[in-house]
Amino acid sequence: MDLTSLLGPVLGIGAILAGLLLEGGHLSSVLQITAFMIVIGGMSGSICVAYPLPDVIAALKAIGTWLKNPSTDPRQISADIIDLAQTARKESILALEKKRESISYEPLATAIRLAVDGTDPNIIRETLETAQSISLEEEEVSVHFWEDCGAFAPTIGILGAVLGLIHVMENLDKPELIGPGIAVAFTATLYGVGFANILFIPMGKKIKRKAHLDSMAREMVIIGVEGILSGLNPKVIQEKLSIFLGEKAEE
């Protein structure tokens, strides 16, 4: 579980509500079910117009990516690749088959399977690069989806405020209702801006970051497997992979 994904919204919303209370406000002033319905319902309608159903489903599944820690561990991937390189150097490429089941990162396991099957190195590279490109492109759709939610929500919030002001204008003959009516009207704007900047846009940014981390891990696999098939010394491969880890390989 990525704790910052949960801590962030709690901290943001908590700080805003604390500020409201410190200023003498009341929670009842901002807890408006109608404003919530207008913002979330209107935004959902807009996003459905903008994206086909498969993209909507994929973006909703990406919430899991947002909530979980990255599935890739660059250090573990590097260690697995070096171990495979040493095995291939001491024994043979075919000896890697017995290690494939212990590999947790699926793209690396796939690359090793192709290598053991005797697939041409160029085809292996093309296959891995295609998978890398498609995976990143699919994640980018989810990124744009949530960023667009963040763009639509404030605008829908303004529409909610306008609707509330229309209702206020209809009651100008009742001065006692004008102040509370205006306050309720602007709650929709609060919801729109709040959801956009505390949840939707940050979600998109974190999903994008995790997608890039996965792309980097896939690049490590490409470089590592290519080095293994080329018969490079494991230390040379380790030196190349150390670039992704932000450190120098061991002497």
Is the pLDDT reported for residue 230 higher than 90? no
Over residues 141-150, mean pLDDT: 95
* Residue 241 in domain: yes
- Express each pLDDT in 15-52 by its tens digit: 988 888 888 877 877 888 888 999 999 999 999 999 99
Q: What would the pLDDT profile of 178-202 be if each residue is shown by its tens digit?
A: 777 777 778 889 999 999 999 999 9
Residue numbers of the domain that contains 237: 32-74+122-245
Tokens 């579980």 correspond to what residue? 1
Residue 215 in any domain: the answer is: yes
State both tokens at 42: 């209107």
Tell me if 222 sits within 8 A of 123, measured CB to CB: no
**Is 48 a domain residue?**
yes
Cβ pair 142, 59 in contact under 8 A: yes
CB of 213 closer than 8 Å to CB of 65 = no
Residues 38, 41, 42: CA angle, nearest 5 degrees: 75
Is residue 185 a part of any domain in this protein?
yes
Q: What average pLDDT does this structure show over 161-185?
A: 78
* DSSP structural state of residue 39: H
212 domain residue, yes or no: yes
pTM: 0.83
Check whether 98 has a pLDDT greater than 90.
Answer: no
Q: Is the pLDDT of residue 249 over 50?
A: no
Cβ–Cβ under 8 Å, residues 250 and 238: yes
Under 8 Å between Cβ of 48 and 56: yes
> CB burial class (10 A; 0-12, 13-18, 19+) of residue 65?
buried
Q: What mean pLDDT is reported for the chain?
A: 88
Task: Determine, yes or no, domain membership for 60.
Answer: yes
* 92 compared with 217, residue with greater pLDDT: 217
**Which residues have C-beta within 8 Å of that of residue 68, sequence separation ≥ 6?**
1, 2
pLDDT grade for 3, boundaries at 50, 70 and 90: confident
CB-based burial of residue 120 (10 Å sphere; 0-12 exposed, 13-18 middle, 19+ buried)?
exposed
Residue-wise pLDDT for 208-229, tens only, equals 999 999 999 999 999 999 999 8
State residue 26's pLDDT score. 78
Widest distance between CA atoms in the chain: 91
The DSSP output letter for 91 is S
Between CA 90 and CA 87 the distance in angstroms is: 5
Q: What is the pLDDT of residue 47?
A: 95
% of the chain at pLDDT higher than 70: 97
Tokens 């994008």 — which residue? 208
Residue 247: pLDDT band (50, 70, 90) is low
Establish if 197 belongs to a structural domain. yes
Q: How many domains does the chain have?
A: 1
Tell whether 139 is covered by a domain: yes
